[in-house]
Structures are given as C-alpha cells and as structure tokens.
Amino acid sequence: MTQKARIIKRVVDTVGASVLLVVLAPLIAVCALLIKLQDGGPVFHRRRVVGPNGEFDAFKLRTMCPRADDILQREPTLRREFELNSKLRNDPRITPFGAFLRKLSLDECPQLWNVLRGEMSLVGPRMITADELKRYGEAGWIFRATKPGLTGFWQVQGRQEVPFEQRVQMDLFYVQNWSLRLDCEILLRTPLVVLRGVGAY
C-alpha cells in the first residue's frame, strides 16, 4: 500500500467513523442502558488485540455474563473448542440480550472509537489477540502492516462459519490484494451480511 493510499484510507476511516458514531450514538446508549439493567455489570468489554503499533484495547458492548472466564475455565470441553476455533458455537456465557447484539453485530459499534483513534480501520483483517496471532505463523506479518478492521473480507464471506485456517487465508488475500475498490465492495456488502445474521454467534 502506497503512502497516498494510506492517507486516503485514513481519511475514509475518520470521516466514516465520525458519521457512524453520530448516527449510532442513541442506539449505543440504549443498548448500554439495557446491558446495565440486566445484571448491573459493566457496559463495555475491552478485548486486548494486536495491531501495527502493538497491542491495544478494542471496545465492545458486553455480551457475556459477569465472570464469563471462570465458566470457560471450569468446563474442559468448552475450553478445548475455544482453543481450536477461538469461538464457541453454543456459548453458555452469552446473555440473551448479548445474543441479540451479536446477531446484528451491534456489540461491535464502540470499535468506531478505535477507528477514530487510528488503532483500527473500517475494513481490514479480523481482530485477533496475541495468542491467536501465534496460530497465524508466517502470515502474522499482516498485523504488523495493516490495522485490524471493523469489517473485512472474511466477515462478508461467512464470518464464524469459516474455519480458522481459511480465515487466515482470507486475511492474507485481503492484505495482498488491497485496493480502495475492494474496501468499498466490502463496506457495501457488510450491511446485508449483518442483517442476514450469517455466521454470527
């Protein structure tokens, strides 16, 4: 990616995230209130993920019950599935309202703030933790070169229905074939994929 392309991508990120935050602010506020009312726990969840400038906290609306990690540690079967796929298909830690938020990807909305801060991009490779980065092997270089995205190539191709190894290949494809046109195509396809709820859990 050339310097000019990076500047254009950053301008699109800044303008897009700013507009979306203004439009979605009332919805985010309502969701935050409902999360607080359901169990009194924290509204936001911070996920420690990797990017070109090192690790940072990606913000999400909390979709799991308090002390969710304790449940995972107590259940070896669930822990093995999580270690294999970095996700649980039937996750007992997710609250009913949290399942609704995930179905429509509303829990991801606070990451628009990460985009404004320059830690993420509207479109990019999937957001991963340092532990997940180890599974990328030699392909891990893409996270030193490219910011993780709020949406991306793998998200519009099936999201969690895609096996982990295929997700890695999709992230590689995106970074190696990046263009503003590809970003625009992904952004245009994202709302339809979200509304269909494909691979969301």
* pLDDT tens-digit series, residues 43-58: 999 999 999 999 999 9
Q: Between 96 and 84, where is the model more confident?
A: 96
Length, in residues, of the chain = 201
Q: What is the pTM of this model?
A: 0.86
Question: At a CB cut-off of 8 Å and minimum separation 6, what does 77 contact?
Answer: none
pLDDT at 132 over 60: yes
Within a domain: residue 201? no
Q: Would you state the pLDDT for residue 83?
A: 64
Residue 69 is part of which domain span?
3-196
Within a domain: residue 51? yes
Within a domain: residue 74? yes
Cβ burial of 111 (10 Å; 0-12, 13-18, 19+) is: buried
pLDDT at 111 over 90: yes
Within a domain: residue 8? yes
Within a domain: residue 55? yes
Within a domain: residue 95? yes
Question: Which residue from 44, 85, 86 is spatially nearest to 63, judged by alpha carbons?
Answer: 44
Within a domain: residue 42? yes
Question: At a CB cut-off of 8 Å and minimum separation 6, what does 51 contact?
Answer: 119, 120, 143, 147, 148
Q: Would you state the pLDDT for residue 21?
A: 95
Domain count, the chain: 1
